[in-house]
Structure 1
Amino acid sequence: MTKKDLADLLKYSSPREIYVITHYNVLKRIFCPFQVQVLQKIGELNTGQIVFVDEVKATLELKTVYIIKNQAYYYYHFDIIV
């Protein structure tokens, strides 16, 4: 995927919200900042710590990245607290 393709795709998304499916199969829109729990120690964050996601971004490979305290982390290091 080129940068132009990514830009075209991202013009329909917002870095301030994310859609999730709950345990009850309900689609829910969550606005930033939202809380997540750290699954494993990464960077300055410790396992079990609750932190706020300030923005949601995407890489060129379309992997979701959370911006937390001005640092980028892949989404799979966290559980969203709904």
Structure 2
Amino acid sequence: MSDKLIEDINKYTNSDSLLVHTQTKGLIRLYCPFTVKVIQSVDSYMVGEELEVVKVKVSPDLDLVYVIGNTGYYHYYFSIQI
């Protein structure tokens, strides 16, 4: 990954918010903390539980990571609750 790509990503993102496109409101920014629902069990979290995301990160492979408590989880385990 190039430094230029990382620089471009950092222009529009930070660890305290997330840009989300919705069907009704278009592009919105969600600020941490925000609520997610578990859609695939991970660690001790079961499907249907609602959790609070305290930070948002990007992995070295550019995967979105939600920090819940002090642990990072890939976004695809969760659904954002708006």
Q: What TM-score comes out, normalization by structure 2 length?
A: 0.87
| 2:33 is equivalent to residue 19 of structure 1 | no
Inter-partner Cα distance in structure 1 for 2:55 and 2:25 = 24
Identity within the alignment, % = 32
How many pairs does the alignment contain?
81
Cα distance in structure 1, aligned partners of 2:45 and 2:8: 31
Structure 1 residue ranges (4+ consecutive) displaced by more than 3 angstroms after TM superposition: 4-7
Q: What SS class does the counterpart of residue 65 from structure 1 fall into?
A: strand
Counterparts of 1:7 and 1:40, CA distance in 2:
29
2: CA distance, partners of 1:7 / 1:64: 14
2:7 counterpart residue number: 8
Q: Distance in 2 between matches of 1:11 and 1:61?
A: 15
Relative to structure 1, the CA distance from residue 26 to residue 7 in structure 2 (aligned partners, 3 Å threshold; closer, same or farther) is closer
- Partners of 2:33 and 2:15 in 1: CA distance: 10
Deviation at 1:44? 1.8
RMSD: 1.6
